[in-house]
């Protein structure tokens, strides 16, 4: 996961850095102009101090001559005073030269140069399922930090990486999700979750992972076979139920999914079961009958959470599907499945930014343990370390 995007981003960053070094305009002239005033001031100060020292020296020598003439010993303090002044001037000289060398190595690029430099990164991001909107944000953020900003040698790469980190942090701007906390908070049992998505996206598998997570944390659950449509769907859910060790509520194939969902919720209420996990049939947004059926399930059970299960590998299609489903049933959040087989990784950024829906978990395999909480900092580290 993210391996591909990470490598591509890395090589794009170093290519931008190299080109910046080669193509950026050296801005020493401007810096020098700025410096010249301070140079003049410093020079003036040095001259004045030199004058004072010279005068002090003269007075000291005069005194010395007088004292020699009078045959009196020279006081020690006067001898020490001169080297001290010299030290101060040495330091000032050093500061003065450091400023000049800084000006020589500072470079900057123009907006049109930036467009050219960003091109490589733009293509890599696009090819790795990062949506146009996200790329535009990354681009504008980076532009404000690079264009017409004089940067020292060695500062460019860090500036790019820091800017990307900041952009991704803002792209994934949603609160982290704690399912156990949400279940605990609800006073009246059960807490009801409906899993929604297109065909084969991983709904049934994800339900078994969630049931396993709850069980591990001593939270009871029941699975509901509200996919009465696809052949062998009920049997598949029963297998998952056995795997986890939780009960499955089912009706016959072809029966009303809303009715079985209602029964599942009622059963949990009567038995004091904490959570109801409702499996639904895969459907396309364009299928009005199946979307009406979904609306009915939701009206009947009034779920606490409607989770969209999207395949990470589908990229921009996933975003369109979430938007479509959201317009009909108002999705609360997303679980992205099959992250383990997605080499690109950009879908996570795109989904979060374009749909503004929180990503709760990533599905990272087919076993019960393969459900990872979505951790923003980990993603940023994975992408940009
Ligand atoms: N590698 C991998 N495979 C997964 C993951 N989640 C689900 N799958 C596989 O994807 C396939 C479809 O998963 P299901 O859980 O049946 O998907 P579904 O959405 O319930 O499918 P329908 O009910 O037909 O709409 C199965 O072979 C799963 O084992 C995942 O996170 N990683
Ligand atoms: Mg299924």
The residues pairing with 361 across neighbouring beta strands, listed in sequence order, are 335, 373
Q: How far is the CA of 337 from the centre of ligand 2 (A)?
A: 13
Report the interhelical angle of 28-70 vs 76-104 (nearest 10°): 170
Lookup: tokens for 108: 């900057």
Same domain flag for 94 and 115? no
Helix, strand and coil percent figures for the chain, each rounded to 5: 65, 10, 25
Looking at 60, 83, 105, the residue that finishes a domain is 105
Looking at 171, 190, 210, the residue that finishes a domain is 171
At 139 the pLDDT is: 97
Q: How many CB atoms lie within 10 A of CB 107?
A: 21
Same domain flag for 44 and 15? no
Q: How confident is the model at residue 154 (pLDDT cuts 50, 70, 90)?
A: confident
Higher pLDDT: 264 or 56? It is 264
Task: Tell me the residue range of the domain where 216 lies.
Answer: 179-384
Backbone angles phi, psi at 280, to 5 degrees: -125, 165
Q: How confident is the model at residue 100 (pLDDT cuts 50, 70, 90)?
A: very low
Least confident segment among 35-39, 206-210, 313-317, 353-357: 35-39
Region 236-248 average pLDDT? 98
Give the separation between CA 129 and CA 314, rounded to whole angstroms.
Answer: 8
Give the separation between CA 342 and CA 330, rounded to whole angstroms.
Answer: 27
At 77 the pLDDT is: 46
Closest atom of ligand 1 to 339 CA is 31
Q: How far is the CA of 338 from the centre of ligand 1 (A)?
A: 8
Question: Does pLDDT of 46 surpass 80?
Answer: no
Same domain flag for 310 and 161? no
Give the separation between CA 87 and CA 44, rounded to whole angstroms.
Answer: 18
Pocket test for ligand 1, best of 197, 201, 205 (most atoms within 8 A of CB): 205
At 97 the pLDDT is: 47
Same domain flag for 221 and 300? yes
In this structure, are residues 185 and 343 in contact, taking their beta carbons and an 8 Å threshold?
Answer: no
Q: Is 202 in the pocket of ligand 1 (CB under 6 A)?
A: yes
- Tokens 């930036």, residue located: 114
Give the separation between CA 138 and CA 211, rounded to whole angstroms.
Answer: 38
Same domain flag for 97 and 153? no
Same domain flag for 76 and 200? no
Cα 358-261-202 angle, rounded to 5 deg: 45
At 40 the pLDDT is: 62
Q: Is 303 in the pocket of ligand 1 (CB under 6 A)?
A: no
At 79 the pLDDT is: 46
Check which CATH number belongs to the domain holding 360 and give it.
3.40.50.300
Q: Per residue in 187-238, pLDDT tens?
A: 999 999 999 999 999 999 999 999 999 999 999 999 999 999 999 999 999 9
CA 158 to centroid of chain Cα atoms: 16
- Percentage of the chain beyond pLDDT 90 is 64
In this structure, are residues 310 and 254 in contact, taking their beta carbons and an 8 Å threshold?
Answer: no
Same domain flag for 270 and 300? yes
At 62 the pLDDT is: 74
Q: How far is the CA of 203 from the centre of ligand 1 (A)?
A: 7
Lookup: tokens for 95: 């500061």
Select the highest-mean-pLDDT range: 46-50, 78-82, 284-288: 284-288
Q: Is 290 in the pocket of ligand 1 (CB under 6 A)?
A: no
Q: Per residue in 357-371, pLDDT tens?
A: 999 999 999 999 999
In this structure, are residues 23 and 113 in contact, taking their beta carbons and an 8 Å threshold?
Answer: yes
In Å, the largest CA–CA distance within the chain is: 126
Domain count, the chain: 3
Q: How far is the CA of 312 from the centre of ligand 1 (A)?
A: 12
Question: Does pLDDT of 75 surpass 70?
Answer: no
């Amino acid at each position: 996961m993210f391996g591909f995007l990470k490598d591509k981003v890395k090589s794009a960053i170093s290519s931008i850095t190299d080109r910046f070094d080669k193509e950026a305009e050296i801005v020493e002239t401007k810096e020098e102009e700025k410096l010249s005033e301070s140079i003049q001031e410093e020079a003036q100060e040095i001259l004045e101090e030199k004058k004072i020292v010279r005068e002090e020296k003269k007075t000291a020598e005069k005194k010395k001559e007088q004292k020699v003439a009078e045959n009196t010993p020279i006081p020690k303090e006067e001898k020490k005073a001169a080297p001290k002044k010299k030290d101060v001037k040495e330091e000032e000289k050093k500061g003065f030269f450091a400023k000049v060398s800084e000006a020589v190595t500072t470079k900057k690029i123009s907006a049109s140069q930036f467009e050219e430099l960003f091109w490589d990164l733009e293509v890599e991001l696009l090819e790795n399922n990062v949506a146009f909107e996200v790329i535009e944000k990354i681009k504008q953020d980076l532009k404000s930090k690079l264009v017409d900003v004089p940067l020292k040698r060695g500062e460019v790469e860090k500036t790019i990486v820091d800017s990307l980190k900041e952009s991704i942090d803002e792209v994934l701007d949603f609160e982290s999700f704690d399912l156990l906390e949400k279940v605990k908070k609800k006073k009246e049992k059960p807490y009801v979750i409906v899993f929604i998505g297109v065909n084969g996206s991983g709904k049934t598998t994800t339900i078994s992972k969630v049931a396993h997570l709850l069980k591990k944390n001593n939270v009871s659950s029941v699975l509901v076979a509200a996919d009465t449509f696809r052949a062998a769907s009920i049997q598949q859910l029963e297998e998952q139920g056995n795997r986890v060790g939780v009960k499955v509520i089912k009706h016959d194939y072809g029966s009303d999914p809303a009715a079985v969902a209602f029964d599942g919720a009622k059963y949990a209420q009567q038995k004091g079961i904490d959570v109801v996990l409702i499996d639904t049939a895969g459907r396309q947004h364009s299928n009005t009958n199946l979307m009406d059926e979904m609306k009915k399930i939701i009206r009947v059970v009034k779920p606490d959470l409607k989770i969209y299960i999207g395949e990470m590998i589908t990229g921009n299609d996933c975003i369109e599907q979430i938007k479509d489903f959201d317009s009909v049933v108002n999705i609360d959040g997303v679980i992205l499945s099959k992250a383990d087989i997605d080499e690109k990784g950009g879908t996570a950024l795109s989904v979060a930014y374009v749909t503004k829906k929180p990503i709760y978990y990533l599905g990272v395999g087919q076993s019960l343990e393969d459900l990872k909480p979505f951790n923003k900092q980990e993603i940023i580290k994975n992408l940009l370390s």
